[in-house]
């Protein structure tokens, strides 16, 4: 036998709309994203024995697009990707403020790679990504 009270509670819970900060209809709005990164891709070639080590492979501009102060950090989704991030990697940005961060190939790897780098806002409050494609020539 079913408990009518229990069915009612479940029905009410399923009927409630999902409301999250920065979301409309369950889809994040620009208010929910705390950082923007440009460009979205860095592509480079490293020639072993000829290219400098470490090699500056690009720069990204990180902008705080939220209404509050946020602290950023960079994390490569592939921990084996031989990348290093310059000054400004972990910095506190006021709303609308930007910082430019240098990206380096550390020369610790000898094979070509592709990785995604997350730029994460304070406490995981928002993030943006960019891709790094490295071709290593022996």
Confidence category of residue 57, pLDDT binned at 50, 70, 90: very high
Q: 127-137 and 98-105: which strand pairing?
A: unpaired
Confidence category of residue 124, pLDDT binned at 50, 70, 90: low
Residue-wise pLDDT tens digits, 28-52: 444 455 789 999 999 999 999 999 9
Where residue 131 sits, what CATH number does that domain have?
A: 2.60.40.10
Report the C-alpha dihedral over residues 116, 119, 120, 121, rounded to 10 degrees. Answer: -160
Domain annotation covers residue 122: yes
Residue-wise pLDDT tens digits, 70-92: 888 898 888 889 999 998 888 89
Count up the domains in the chain and report the number.
1
pLDDT at position 80, please?
83
Report the C-alpha dihedral over residues 107, 43, 65, 70, rounded to 10 degrees. Answer: -10
Exposure of 130 by Cβ count < 10 A (0-12 exposed, 13-18 middle, 19+ buried)? buried
Whether this prediction's pTM lies above 0.75 is answered by: no
DSSP state at residue 31 = G
In angstroms, rounded to a whole number, what is the distance separating the alpha carbons of residues 62 and 35? 7
Got the DSSP string for 67-126?
SS-EE-EEEESSTTS-EEE-TTSS-EE-TT-EEEEEEEE-S---S-EEEEEEEE-GGGS-
Domain annotation covers residue 57: yes
Domain annotation covers residue 4: no
Domain annotation covers residue 95: yes
Domain extent for 88 = 30-137
Decide if 75 contacts 120 (C-beta within 8 A): yes
The residue-averaged pLDDT of 53-79 equals 90
């Amino acid at each position: 036998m079913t408990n009518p009270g229990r069915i009612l509670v479940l029905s009410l819970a399923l009927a409630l709309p999902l409301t999250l900060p920065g979301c409309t209809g369950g889809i994040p709005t620009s208010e929910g994203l705390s950082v923007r990164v440009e460009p979205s891709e860095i592509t480079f070639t490293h020639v072993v024995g000829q290219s400098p080590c470490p090699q500056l492979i690009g720069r990204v501009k990180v902008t705080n697009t939220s209404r509050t102060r946020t602290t950023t950090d960079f994390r490569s989704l592939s921990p084996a990707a031989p990348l290093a991030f310059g000054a400004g990697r972990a910095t506190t940005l006021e709303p609308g403020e930007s910082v430019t961060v240098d990206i380096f190939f550390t020369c610790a790897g000898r094979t070509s790679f592709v990785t995604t780098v997350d730029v994460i806002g304070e406490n995981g409050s928002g993030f943006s990504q960019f891709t790094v494609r490295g071709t290593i020539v022996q």
